Structure 1
Amino acid sequence: MRYLRLIGIFWAASAAARMEYRAAFAVSIVAAFVETGGKLFGVYLFYASGYDLGGWRWQEALLVLGLAQMVDAFFVLIFQPNLRRISEMVQDGTLDFVLLKPVDSQFWMSVQQVGVVGLPYLALALGVVGYAGAASGLSPAGWLVLAVAAAGALLLAYALAFLFATTSIWFVKIFNVVFFLSSMIWSAQYPVQAYARPFRLFLTFVLPVYFMTTAPAELALGRAAGGASWAIFLVALGLFALSRAFWRFALRFYTSASS
């Protein structure tokens, strides 16, 4: 409960500071509608011309698109505003002040800021997922599988992003790799079966964005064993544990401003 209260305090203060620029937030709402509409139109063009994306129906492909936007929205909301600060604080030595606080340092570095401009994208993403799931005829069990798999996908995305950001301890300006991971999410906005085999293997085993978009949709739609959703979540938990261990390991090599 103490950490939940801290999240509330952090996000309220961060949102208040960012909402000083209301015009920017209004522009982000318009941009979210334009970008989401453009992506939906792109999928529509494939199916209007009689081409299906790897054997997926229109509404099923929309489910993958909605999941991709949901993960990307969390990058804008939480991951990028916070994880980029690791590099900045290592560079100017202010990471010392975080390490001295009576709170878990990874928690502090992960949730202190919130990018409110990501809220419209998240709302539209959930709308697309809701419509696509209903149009695909998801059962209550299917929605549960989708929720578990989507939670695992978000945890997996966070763990990967934090692992990359942690390398800032050694390579100060490496944070662009996290932006690269965010951009690669959109390479999986279509079912991976629509891509050529080499790129499909890359999105699955090298940069596993397949598990953040296509895999949850496959599980919810019954294209894969339902128990695999729990497997994705467990793998994500394992990677999250690895990110914590790697963070503690990396801090041994942090040269503070006072040492």
Structure 2
Amino acid sequence: MRYLRLLGIFWAASAAARMEYRAAFVVAMFASVIETAGKLFGVYLFYSSGFELGGWPWQEALLVLGFAQLVDAFFLLFFVPNLRRISEMVQDGTLDFVLLKPVDSQFWVSAQKLDPIGLPYLLLGAAVLGYAGWASGLAAGGWAWLAFAGAGAVFLVYALAFLLATTSIWFVKIFNVVHFLSSMIWSAQYPVQAYARPFRLFLTFVLPVYFMTTAPAELALGRVGGGAPWAMFLVALGLFAFSRAFWRFALRFYTSASS
């Protein structure tokens, strides 16, 4: 409960600070609508000529796009405003004050900021997922798997982004690599089956964005069975646990800028 109260304080302060610039927020809302419409139009162009991306029908391909939008929204909401600050705190030595607080340091550096600019993207992503799920005829179980897969995708992308941001302890200005991860997620806004085999392997085993977009859609559609759904979620939780262990390991090498 203490951490929930802290979240409320953190996010209320962040939202209040951000909403001082109301015009910028309104412009960002329009930009999110235009950007999402552009992505939908890009998918539509393929299907308007009768072409199916990797053999996926139109409404099912929209599920993949919806998951990509969902993950990108969490990047804007939490990851960009928080994880970017890790390299800044390492550089100017303010990470010292975080480590001295009676709060889990990973929680502090991961959740202190909230950027409301990501909210329109989150709502639009949920709308795309809702429409795609309805058009695909998902049953009640399919909707449950959709929510389950969405949580797993967010866990996975957070763990990957935090692992990359943690390397700031050694390399300091590394946050552009996290932006690279965000860009690669959008390369997987289409089903990975639509790509050539080398790039498909890269998106699956080297930079596993397949598990953030296409795999959750396959899970919701019932295309994977057996222990695969639980394996996906366990991989996400395992990577999250590894990110915590790696953070604690990295802190052993942290040298205060003031010491």
The C-alpha deviation readout for 1:53-77, integer Å capped at 9, x for no partner, is: 0010000001100110000000000
- Which residue does 2:191 correspond to in 1? 191
- Which residue does 1:251 correspond to in 2? 251
Instruction: Answer with 14-23 or 223-232: which moved more.
Output: 223-232
How much does 1:226 deviate? 6.0
- Which residue does 1:75 correspond to in 2? 75
C-alpha separation between the residues in 2 aligned to 1:25 and 1:231? 39
CA contact (8 A) 1:148 1:229 kept: no
**Normalized against structure 2, the TM-score is what?**
0.98
- Which residue does 1:162 correspond to in 2? 162
- Which residue does 2:210 correspond to in 1? 210
**Identity across matched positions, percent:** 81
C-alpha separation between the residues in 2 aligned to 1:212 and 1:162? 15
Amino acid in the other structure paired with 1:162: F
How much does 1:160 deviate? 0.3
- Which residue does 2:54 correspond to in 1? 54
- Which residue does 2:236 correspond to in 1? 236
Unpaired segments of 5 or more residues in structure 1? none
Alignment of 1:51-130 (within 5 A): 51-130=51-130
The C-alpha deviation readout for 1:121-166, integer Å capped at 9, x for no partner, is: 0000000000000100011111111111111110000000000000
- Which residue does 1:40 correspond to in 2? 40
C-alpha separation between the residues in 1 aligned to 2:104 and 2:192? 37
Distance 1:122 1:226, change over 3 A: farther
- Which residue does 1:146 correspond to in 2? 146
C-alpha separation between the residues in 2 aligned to 1:242 and 1:164? 12
**Normalized against structure 1, the TM-score is what?**
0.98
Amino acid in the other structure paired with 1:191: P
Amino acid in the other structure paired with 1:163: L
C-alpha separation between the residues in 1 aligned to 2:12 and 2:118? 15
How much does 1:223 deviate? 1.3
How much does 1:257 deviate? 3.1
The C-alpha deviation readout for 1:234-255, integer Å capped at 9, x for no partner, is: 1111101100000000000000
Q: Which runs of 4+ in 1 moved over 6 A?
A: none
CA contact (8 A) 1:148 1:230 kept: no
- Which residue does 1:27 correspond to in 2? 27
C-alpha separation between the residues in 2 aligned to 1:103 and 1:144? 33
How much does 1:110 deviate? 0.2
Unpaired segments of 5 or more residues in structure 2? none
Q: Counterpart of 1:173 in 2: which secondary structure?
A: coil
C-alpha separation between the residues in 2 aligned to 1:54 and 1:175? 33
C-alpha separation between the residues in 1 aligned to 2:50 and 2:86? 47
C-alpha separation between the residues in 1 aligned to 2:254 and 2:2? 28
How much does 1:224 deviate? 1.1
Q: Counterpart of 1:225 in 2: which secondary structure?
A: coil
How much does 1:228 deviate? 2.1
Q: Counterpart of 2:55 in 1: which secondary structure?
A: coil
Q: Counterpart of 1:255 in 2: which secondary structure?
A: coil
C-alpha separation between the residues in 2 aligned to 1:15 and 1:229? 35
Q: Counterpart of 1:59 in 2: which secondary structure?
A: helix
The C-alpha deviation readout for 1:194-252, integer Å capped at 9, x for no partner, is: 00000000000000000000000001111111642221111111101100000000000
CA contact (8 A) 2:91 2:257 kept: no
Distance 1:2 1:226, change over 3 A: farther
Q: Does 1:10 align with 2:4?
A: no
C-alpha separation between the residues in 1 aligned to 2:229 and 2:6? 30
CA contact (8 A) 2:159 2:240 kept: yes
